[in-house]
C-alpha cells in the first residue's frame, strides 16, 4: 500500500511565494515517478500579509494545527518596510523551531558539479560538508528587555542562554552524523576566549562527548578563524557544529561558496520525531528580487530532497538531487544568480523534466 504523508506548506513572503510552488511541483513529479507514496500538500497562507490583516503572522493555534502534519515545507519570511523583521521572525519561524524542538538546523554546504564557485582552485571535491546549527536557544533565546526608553539612559539587554541539555543534544547529534560520514570529523565552533562562561561551557561539553566517540576526529575553532577557513581550507571540513547565531552567519558564507544562497537548503529537525520537522531554503524573502520571477528555486527543491530523506523516501530524495545536479551540469537553465537568464518557473520545470527522464 502506498505510504501517505501530510505536509504543511507555508510559502510565506517575498520570493518564498515563487520558489515554494516550484518545490511543490518537483515533489509532485517525484511522487508520480516513484509511485509508492502520496504527498498531501496543504497550503497555509501565513506570513506578513496575514499579519497585516490579522495582527499575527499565523493563527494563535498554529502549532496545534501543524502538529498533526508529518513535516512542514517553508519558503521565507520577511517584508521589511511593512513589518519589522523581528516581528516576522519571532511571529512564525522561531515559534515553530522552538515549539517543535527542532533543535538541529542541518545545512549542507556543497558546491555541485557543473558550478564554478567564487573560490579559486576549489571545486566540488573541496566544498562538501555539513553545518549543524543549534536551533532552539543560545543567542536566539529571546531573553532580555529595554528600559528607560526615550531617555539618554536607555538600556537594551539581550542575554544568550546555553543549557547543558540543549548543548549536549546538538553536539551528540553532530557526533552521530560525523560517525556516519567517510571523513568522520567534527569541528566545534565557539568564541570561548571572549565568552568565558557560555562558550567555555560549550567547549567542555564538546570535550566530554568527544570521549564517547573515539572514532571521530575532533577540532575546535574560534568563529572568526572558522570564517576564514571556510574560504581558505573548506576541504578540511566535514561536520561543523556551532551555536544558533554563529552557524547562521557561517552558513550564509557557506551559501556564497556554494555559488549562491539560492543553492543552500536547510532542515530544522526534531530528531526524536515527536514533532514535525521543517524544511526550508536558508535564504530569506529577498525583497529586492521578489515579484520578478528570477529567484533560484534550487535551495527550496533541495530542501524538499532533505524532507523526503527525513521521511525515509531515500530513493526519491536521491532522484531529486540527481535532477538538480543534471540541470546544473547541463548549464542551460540557470537563474541570474548562477550567471544564467532563466526564470524561477523554468528552473523548476527543468528539474521536473530531469526527474521524468530518470523515471522513464
Ligand atoms: N527560509 C526562511 C527564512 O526566511 N529565513 C531567513 C531568515 O532571516 N532566517 C533567520 C534565521 O534562520 O535565523
Pocket of ligand 1 contains residue 303 by CB under 6 Å: no
Report how far ligand 1's centroid is from the alpha carbon of 76 (Å). 7
Number of H helices, E strands in the chain: 12, 12
* Distance from Cα 166 to the centre of ligand 1, integer Å: 21
Clarify whether residues 122 and 248 are in a common domain: yes
Structure confidence at residue 1 (pLDDT): 83
pLDDT at position 121 over 90: yes
Domain boundary among 205, 235, 257: 257
CB of 77 sitting under 6 A from ligand 1: yes
Final residue before a domain boundary, out of 196, 225, 257: 257
Q: How far is the CA of 281 from the centre of ligand 1 (A)?
A: 8
pLDDT in tens, 47-95: 999 999 999 999 999 999 999 999 999 999 999 999 999 999 999 999 9
- On whether both 356 and 294 belong to a single domain, the answer is yes
H or E element, residue 146: strand 138-147
**pLDDT score for 157:** 97
Are 56 and 184 members of one domain?
no
Report whether residue 281 contacts ligand 1, using a CB cutoff of 6 Å. Answer: yes
What's the pLDDT tens digit per position in 3-12?
999 999 999 9
Three-state DSSP string of 300-350: HHHHHHHHHHHCCCHHHHHHHHHHHHHHHHHCCCCCHHHCCCCCHHHHHHH
| Substitution site in 140, 267, 282 for ligand 1 pocket (most atoms within 8 Å of beta carbon) | 282
pLDDT at 331: 96
Q: At 216, is the pLDDT very low, low, confident or very high (cuts 50, 70, 90)?
A: very high
User: pLDDT class for 109, splitting at 50, 70, 90?
Assistant: very high
- 91 Cβ inside 6 Å of ligand 1: no
Q: What is the pTM of this model?
A: 0.97
Mean pLDDT of the chain: 97
Beta bridge partners of 6: 40
Verify that 246 and 139 share a domain, yes or no: yes
Mean pLDDT of 289-294: 98
Say if residue 177 is in the same domain as residue 253: yes
- Boundaries of domain holding 154: 118-257
Choice from 18, 89, 287 to test ligand 1 binding pocket (greatest atom count within 8 A of CB): 89
Give yes or no for residue 44 having a pLDDT over 90: yes
State which ligand 1 atom lies nearest to the alpha carbon of 76: 4
Among 231, 257, 283, where does a domain finish?
257
Q: How confident is the model at residue 360 (pLDDT cuts 50, 70, 90)?
A: confident
Q: Quick one: CA dihedral 308, 310, 311, 312, positive or negative? A: positive
The CATH code of the domain that includes 92 is 3.40.718.10
Count: domains in the chain: 2
Amino acid at each position: 500500500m502506498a505510504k501517505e504523508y501530510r505536509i504543511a506548506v507555508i510559502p510565506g513572503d517575498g520570493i518564498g511565494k515563487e520558489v515554494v510552488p516550484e518545490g511543490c511541483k518537483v515533489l509532485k513529479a517525484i511522487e508520480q515517478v516513484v509511485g509508492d507514496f502520496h504527498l498531501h500538500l496543504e497550503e497555509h497562507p501565513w506570513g506578513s500579509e496575514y499579519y497585516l490583516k490579522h495582527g499575527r503572522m499565523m493563527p494563535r493555534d498554529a502549532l496545534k494545527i501543524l502538529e498533526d502534519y508529518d513535516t512542514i515545507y517553508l519558503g521565507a519570511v520577511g517584508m521589511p518596510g511593512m513589518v519589522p523583521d523581528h516581528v516576522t521572525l519571532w511571529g512564525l519561524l522561531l515559534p515553530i523551531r522552538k515549539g517543535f524542538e527542532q533543535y538541529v538546523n542541518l545545512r549542507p554546504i556543497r558546491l555541485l558539479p557543473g558550478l564554478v564557485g567564487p573560490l579559486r582552485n576549489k571545486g566540488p571535491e573541496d566544498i562538501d560538508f555539513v553545518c549543524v546549527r543549534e536551533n532552539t536557544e543560545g543567542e536566539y533565546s529571546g531573553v532580555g528587555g529595554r528600559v528607560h526608553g526615550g531617555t539618554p539612559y536607555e538600556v537594551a539587554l539581550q542575554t544568550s542562554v546555553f543549557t547543558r541539555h540543549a548543548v549536549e543534544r546538538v553536539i551528540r547529534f553532530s557526533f552521530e552524523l560525523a560517525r556516519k560520514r567517510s571523513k568522520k570529523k567534527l569541528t566545534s565552533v565557539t568564541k570561548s576566549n571572549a565568552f568565558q562562561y557560555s562558550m567555555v561551557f560549550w567547549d567542555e561539553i564538546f570535550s566530554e562527548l568527544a570521549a564517547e566517540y573515539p572514532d571521530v576526529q575532533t577540532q575546535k575553532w574560534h568563529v572568526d578563524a572558522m570564517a576564514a577557513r571556510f574560504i581558505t581550507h573548506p576541504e578540511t571540513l566535514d561536520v561543523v557544529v556551532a551555536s544558533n547565531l554563529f552557524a547562521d552567519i557561517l552558513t550564509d558564507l557557506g551559501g556564497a561558496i556554494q555559488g549562491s544562497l539560492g543553492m543552500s537548503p536547510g532542515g530544522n529537525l526534531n530528531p526524536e520525531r515527536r514533532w514535525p520537522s521543517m524544511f526550508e531554503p536558508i535564504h530569506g524573502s529577498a525583497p529586492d528580487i521578489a515579484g520578478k520571477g528570477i529567484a533560484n528555486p534550487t535551495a527550496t527543491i533541495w530542501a524538499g530532497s532533505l524532507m523526503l530523506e527525513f521521511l525515509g523516501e531515500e530513493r526519491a530524495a536521491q532522484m531529486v538531487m540527481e535532477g538538480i545536479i543534471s540541470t546544473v551540469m547541463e548549464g542551460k537553465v540557470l537563474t541570474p544568480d548562477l550567471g544564467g537568464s532563466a526564470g524561477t518557473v523554468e528552473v523548476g520545470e527543468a528539474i521536473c523534466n530531469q526527474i521524468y527522464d530518470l523515471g522513464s
